[in-house]
Chains A and B, each alone.
Chain A
Amino acid sequence: MSQVARDLGQEELSPEARIKKLAREAGALVVGIASVADINRFAPKGHRPNDMLRGARSVIVTGGKPNTAGAFESPEPRLLTSLRTYPAIRKAIVMKIAAHIEERYGHPSIFYDGGTVWGLVPHMSLKLAAERAGLGTRSLAGGVILNPIHGLLNLSVTITTMPLEADAPLDTPVCPHPACVEIWARERTTPCLSACPECLEGELENGSVKWMRYKAYLCQARARGQGPLGLQKMLYEILQEKDPEQQKLLVFGERFTRLIASASFSSELVAGCYECLRPCPLLAPNRRAGSGAAKTSGV
């Protein structure tokens, strides 16, 4: 690299820096790289990046804020999920990265944003990839990844056969927040645990999470009530109804009408529940419009 190129701002970026720059320009708030070899130390066979792309060497993980700051302040919870922001662009971002790697470096690449393939089990864990790429650490709130600056992240990945220098996982767990440690000392609970005692259990000890349990089967019923599974559940109830008049009321009622509209127009098909994260102290600065945290870009 010549001094002249550096001085003129024409320095050739490394592939890693170029990919991260592209991700941020495309709309990612944070981006990190994990090696497939490292992910495979934890992921079971059948759910590894190289089960999705033969010869995969690297996973580029992008993240963004799931909602606008305003959506978190809305008294209407359905708006919090229907107005999701990063989910609307996350696939395009990782698609651009995959195209860039293929065109510039000639390495086959694919992209993935967590769509399920066998019921609720995904091809691969985006949480694990984000953790290994240094974007954040697990939390008491169902093990979701929290970033130390931005709080909750919505994730998508590019998987490539290109060997890239990986980022390191974070040294310090983001959860629990010091405010939650104080609350635990006083009340033996945390904001997320008290928000959803049905789905979440856990205990803090010496300022750290000692153990936790996430009842995903209950969470998905609560979070996906407006999704395809909610439609199936209600359809079964309607089919079981013996009284034709009652059956008519169920079919024409507001709830089933909304489920059908969701299936037909994807109006609310991406269901969700943020109630355990809504009171999280780590999300508070992230929710404030115009805050420093909200403007910070990239890790």
Chain B
Amino acid sequence: MQTLTPEIYRRYRDEVFKHSLAIQEYDGLTPRRALTDAEIGARLEIPAELVTEIRCVLEVDGVPLVFWKEAESFKQVRCLKRVKPDD
């Protein structure tokens, strides 16, 4: 399998992101189908395995660390807002 290099990652990550399940669009309640890794690979003319590797890196790399860290406080704030305090 072709090794994923920083250059390949930078070159293809936006296209992989655009066609993957990262953002899921619906007409009404009917999903518009995203492309599989094999279909993205065929479109970009790169092996499907390389698309998978790019996508998997993106799944962790694509969102700033601060958003991951703030997830708990987001949930905590919403949880406390929803649940009535005992008194």
Interface set of A (CB-CB < 8 Å, partner B)? 42, 44-47, 73-78, 80, 118-121, 137-139, 142-143, 173, 175, 195, 202, 208-218, 220-223, 225-226, 229-230, 232-234, 236-237, 255, 273, 275, 278-279
A-B pairs, 6 with minimum CB distance: A119-B56, A77-B75, A217-B22, A225-B71, A221-B63, A222-B71
Q: Is the CB of A120 within 8 A of B79?
A: no
Within 8 A of A (CB), among B34-86: 35-39, 52, 55-56, 58-60, 62-63, 65, 67-69, 71-72, 74-76, 78-80, 82-83, 85
Whether B1 sits at the interface, judged by CB under 8 Å, is: no
Interface size on B, residues (CB 8 A): 42
Which residue of the partner chain A has the closest CB to B74?
A: A222
Residue from A46, A73, A230, A279 in contact with B36 in the complex, judged by beta carbons closer than 8 Å: A46
Task: Name B72's closest neighbour in chain A (CB-CB).
Answer: A225
- Decide yes or no: A74 and B33 within 8 Å by CB, A138-B26, A215-B22, A217-B59 being known contacts: no
Docked CA distance A188–B25 (Å): 20
A214–B59 contact, CB under 8 A?
A: no
**Are the CB atoms of B26 and A213 closer together than 8 Å?**
yes
A77 close to B79 (CB less than 8 A): yes
Judge whether B67 and A229 touch: CB under 8 Å. Answer: no
Contact between chains at A47 and B71 (CB < 8 Å)? no
> Is the contact region of chain A dominated by helix, strand, or loop, or is it mixed?
mixed
Q: Is the CB of A279 within 8 A of B82?
A: yes
- If A221-B67, A275-B78, A278-B82 touch, whether A211 touches B27 (CB-CB below 8 Å) is yes
B72 touches A77 (CB 8 A): yes
Nearest chain A CB to B29 CB, angstrom units? 4
Query: Chain B contacts of A218 at CB under 8 A?
Result: 63, 67
Q: A46-B36, A230-B68 are in contact. List 15 more A-B contacts (CB 8 A).
A: A45-B38, A75-B83, A119-B56, A142-B24, A143-B26, A210-B28, A215-B22, A217-B62, A221-B63, A221-B68, A221-B71, A233-B60, A233-B65, A233-B68, A275-B75
